[in-house]
């Protein structure tokens, strides 16, 4: 109880697999267990709580970094303006974190400074050059955050030539 982990399920009500996609099906099963992609924990009373999605993690230097936790610290640092964290490829560490935030009153340098003053592990701290102010975050037609759009925008910003920033 209380420990977070990957949620796997099995039983007669789970899916059998992806239609005509045996390779994809093999990736989401561990024996008879379906790997949901959800992080969850069971409380002392036996109730299950979904805490995050694995897709909302990045593997940085071999460590799983939860995007939601970093986003919570960004929200504390710059108010409740929308923000998003995503993972980008990194040759040295596997992935690196990229931040998109919408608060026009704070610079990337100030946001980085505020984040560096939190208890965030140094490995989880996004580098200044990966923190970007944007007018708005991409959203789906449902109004939910478009995670693929966030990653695409972060990749665009990462590859765009930028002006030197003070460090």
User: Tell me, what's the pLDDT at 166?
Assistant: 46
CA-to-CA distance for 114 and 118, rounded, in angstroms?
7
User: Tell me, what's the pLDDT at 54?
Assistant: 66
CA-to-CA distance for 5 and 152, rounded, in angstroms?
28
Q: How confident is the model at residue 164 (pLDDT cuts 50, 70, 90)?
A: low
Q: Per residue in 113-160, pLDDT tens?
A: 999 999 999 999 999 999 999 999 999 888 888 988 999 999 999 987
Give yes or no for a contact between 85 and 122, defined as CB atoms under 8 angstroms apart: no
Residues 66-75: b if buried by 16+ CB within 10 A, e if exposed = bbeebbebbe
Q: Is the pTM of this model over 0.75?
A: no
Q: How many CB atoms lie within 10 A of CB 24?
A: 11
Which pair of tokens denotes residue 60?
Answer: 């940085």
Q: Per residue in 38-80, pLDDT tens?
A: 778 999 999 998 876 666 888 898 888 889 889 999 998 888 8
């Amino acid at each position: 109880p209380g420990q977070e982990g990957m949620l796997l399920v099995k039983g007669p009500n789970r899916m059998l697999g992806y239609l005509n996609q045996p390779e994809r099906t093999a990736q989401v099963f561990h024996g008879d267990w379906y790997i949901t992609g959800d992080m969850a924990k069971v409380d002392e009373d036996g109730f299950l709580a979904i805490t995050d999605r694995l897709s909302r993690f990045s593997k940085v230097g071999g460590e799983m970094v939860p995007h939601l936790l970093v986003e919570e610290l960004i929200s504390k640092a710059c108010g409740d303006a929308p923000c998003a964290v995503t993972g980008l490829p990194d040759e040295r560490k596997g992935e690196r974190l990229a931040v998109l935030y919408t608060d026009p009153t704070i610079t990337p340098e100030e946001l980085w400074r505020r984040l560096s003053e939190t208890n965030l592990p140094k490995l989880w701290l996004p580098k200044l050059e990966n923190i970007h102010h944007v007018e708005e975050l991409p959203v789906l037609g449902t109004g939910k955050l478009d995670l693929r759009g966030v990653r695409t925008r972060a990749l665009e910003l990462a590859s765009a030539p930028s002006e030197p920033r003070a460090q």
